[in-house]
Amino acid sequence: MGGRRLLRRGAAVSDPVVAARGVTLTRGDRAVLDGLSFEVPADARLLVRGESGAGKSSLFEVLGLLATPDGGRVEVHGEDAARLPERERAALRRDHFGFVFQDFRLIDDLSAYENARVPQEHAGETDEAWLDTLFERLGIEPLADRRPPTLSGGERQRVAIARALANRPSVILADEPTGQLDPSTTDDVLATLASVHEEFTRALVVVSHDPRIAGRFDDVHVLSDGRIRPE
C-alpha cells in the first residue's frame, strides 16, 4: 500500500494532517512521551518548545514516522500509521512529510540541486520545473551547482528546505533548524520558513529550545514531563 492511499476522500481542510493520540515512548527507564496527544492542522505554523532533553526530537521522530511509539496512535490524515510495515511508513514519509534537520544532512558529493532532487528520485518522479520554482523562490538559484561544503550555514539550510518541499509534502517538520546558525542567519531562515508556510500552504511544525524564536510564532506549545500543552 502506497502512502497516498491513506488519504481519506472528502477529508476537510480543517482536519489535522498528523496527530498523536495518547502516545507513549520510553527511552531507558524514562517515559520521554507519556500519554501525549497533539494535533497539527493543515494550516498550522506552530512551535513546540522545551528544555534540552524534554523529548522534542523524540516527538519530531514519532510525528514524522521515523520512530515507533510504545503505545498510542500516530494518525496521518486520520489513519493510524504508527505500526504499519516499514515499507509503507517510508512511503508515507516520502509523500506527506518534509524534514529539516539542525545538521542539514546534505550529501557533500552532490550539488545543491542534486541534494534537493533526492526525494523525487526516491519517489521515482522527477519534476525539475518544480525544483526550479523552489530554487527561484528560495533565492538559491545561483547555488544550484555548488556542493554543500562551499555553502554557508544559511545557504545549506535553504537547500535543505528546498529538499523538504521537493515532493510537495502535507507538513514540514523542522528539528532545531536554527541550532547551528548565528542570530542574523537565524532570522533569515525563520523568515524563509514563514514564507514557505504562506506561499506553499504547507503545515509547519518547528521544535526548538531556542528562546529567541518564540516570538515568530502565534501558536506555541510547551513540551515537559512527557506531555504537551499550549503556551
Q: Which domain holds residue 80?
A: 3-230
The CATH code of the domain that includes 113 is 3.40.50.300
**Of 98, 51, 89, which Cα lies nearest the Cα of 223?**
51
Contact 118, 94 (CB under 8 A): no
Number of domains in the chain: 1
pLDDT beyond 70 at 12: no
The reported pLDDT for the residue numbered 14 is: 59
Identify the weakest region by mean pLDDT among 111-115, 186-190, 224-228: 186-190
**Which band of pLDDT confidence, cut at 50, 70 and 90, is reported for residue 218?**
confident
Tens digits of per-residue pLDDT, 82-133? 889 999 999 999 999 999 998 999 999 999 999 999 999 999 999 999 999 9
Q: pTM for the complete prediction?
A: 0.88
pLDDT beyond 80 at 5: no
